[in-house]
Structure 1
Amino acid sequence: MSAFVPYEPLNTPKPFAEDVWIVDGPEIRMDYGPASLPFPTRMTVVRLSSGELWVHSPIAPDPALFEQVEALGRVRYLVAPNSLHYWYMADWLERYPEATSHAVPGLEKAKRRFRIDQVLTAGERMEWEGEIAWVLVPGTAVTEAVFFVRRGRVAVLTDLIENFEPARVRSRLLRWLIGLAKANGSTPLDMRATYLPRRREVARAVREILDWPADKVVMAHGLPYGKNGAAELQRGLGWTVRRDRTIRRWKPGSRP
């Protein structure tokens, strides 16, 4: 039996905002220290003004899924958004060899190698940047790129916020490890540990995220926020700002 109650249907693009779809995939096992733990998977697909697709955190390959994605447009960009979410990039690049692949720094030495065309390094200009803003949140063990789809006003995160619903976590061990109390979402404790040593850089990056006028937020694990996105980001990521007095006060609806 799955450790999580899935967000069905799986392997099917589900509309989330204008030209933005989320795809919930099968449960996988992720390395967690010396052991591995089950986790649900999710990717996000954005159709750009060109009609081409930008795919965030590709999930396990599936012929029917490929067909459904191709019905939305031509896959042009594939994104490995953090140090953990990259495993299926190789499969998607095999299917779409003409796509441009992007990855956060450090994945050049990933356990499962894949072609990296452009590293998501702060200051680097991306072809899609006019439609999707982004910022790099650096950590000691995990670095994550966070994105903002301007037209749909959707913030796209991976593990920086997790929002597991208590009723969907079947395993008591996982509930304890996740620190699950209620479905409000925040940065899990193990992830905070990787960001604290670089808290000044993290706080500066989060300030940019909090300035985005987000209506919705999608993350890799748990219930997405379908409304009040900017406020949810402030609540879930506010701990980074509180640890750095140099960061100015956030104002709802403010812009960069």
Structure 2
Amino acid sequence: MSYVPLNVLKPVAPDLWIVDGPEITLNRIGLKLPFTTRMTVIRMSNGDLILHSPVEFSPGLHSALDKLGPIRFLVAPNSLHYWWIPDWKAQLRDVPVYAVPGLEKRAKRPIQVDQLLMDRQSPWPNEIDLLVVKGDVLTEAVFFHRVSRTLILTDLIENFELNRIHSWFLRLLVHLSGAADPDGKAPIDMQLTFFRSSQALRKAVRQMIVWAPERIIFAHGRWYEKDGVKELRRAFRWV
């Protein structure tokens, strides 16, 4: 199911790259399920790099990133995507970690958070817009990179390609969850966790549509290289 080649920089737009990492195993609905991983790399106008949802650390990947510019920010964009940040932090001790509220308490390994991502208070207001979407289980920071018109999500949309999944049982689960390409969206179990905050989520989705993204990147499955607004309206129709 992995999006090979792994641990290499893949250009998306000027000053924007993704890195597809190896699969990890997560517990969901009582089952251990494989998930792909994906990092987004943003280069700011001053050359600084933001690593959004870092994949597993490797010296080769670190070296490739250094050729793009200095790594200045490590971002845990939601309360699930943080696992490899302590390993990057160990190599980049002076680089601050930005994370959603509550991560330090919920994380299953120690992680030092230097600054919280709050509401619409973007740490980079001249280049990146920020929304923090809060649910009962998941809190996710949504980024909009203005120059490239790219919306950067993590788990609010999942879009698994069934032909990449070898297990028939896992294909069935993904299909039933509603997170299968070409109609990917938040899986049904995650949708239910936003029941009490549906109004706030609708407001957040409206803002994403106002931004009019050209493309949408997320962590799991085939991301959207075009028709960003159309995909947003489709993927969030459950809201």
Q: Work out whether the TM-score is over 0.5.
A: yes
Are the aligned partners of 1:139 and 1:195 in contact in 2 as well (CA < 8 Å)? yes
Matched residue, 1:234: 233
Are the aligned partners of 2:159 and 2:180 in contact in 1 as well (CA < 8 Å)? no
Matched residue, 1:21: 17
Q: Is the counterpart of residue 90 in structure 1 residue 89 in structure 2?
A: no
Q: Give the drift of 1:181.
A: 5.3
State the TM-score, normalizing by the size of structure 1: 0.88
**1-structure distance, mates of 2:139, 2:183:** 23
- Following superposition of structure 1 onto structure 2, how do residues 59-208 of structure 1 map, counting pairs within 5 Å? 59-109=55-105, 110-123=107-120, 125-179=121-175, 182-208=181-207
- Equivalent position SS for 1:191: helix
Q: Give the drift of 1:182.
A: 4.2
- Equivalent position SS for 1:238: coil
State the TM-score, normalizing by the size of structure 2: 0.94
The equivalent position to 2:48 in structure 1, one of 45, 52, 75, is 52
Specify every segment of 5 or more residues in structure 1 that has no aligned partner in the other structure, as ranges.
241-256
Aligned length: 235
Name the CA shift for 1:227/1:181 in 2 (closer, same or farther; >3 Å): closer
* Equivalent position amino acid for 2:58 in 1: D
- Equivalent position SS for 2:202: helix
The equivalent position to 2:38 in structure 1, one of 42, 51, 75, is 42
Q: CA offsets per residue over residues 192-220 of structure 1, 9 Å max, x none?
A: 01112211111112211111121111110
- Equivalent position SS for 2:51: strand
Residue identity over aligned pairs, in percent, reads 46
Q: CA offsets per residue over residues 89-126 of structure 1, 9 Å max, x none?
A: 11111111221211111102111121111111215x33
* Equivalent position amino acid for 1:170 in 2: H
Specify every segment of 5 or more residues in structure 2 that has no aligned partner in the other structure, as ranges.
none
**1-structure distance, mates of 2:221, 2:14:** 21
CA RMSD of aligned residues (A): 1.4
Q: Give the drift of 1:156.
A: 0.5
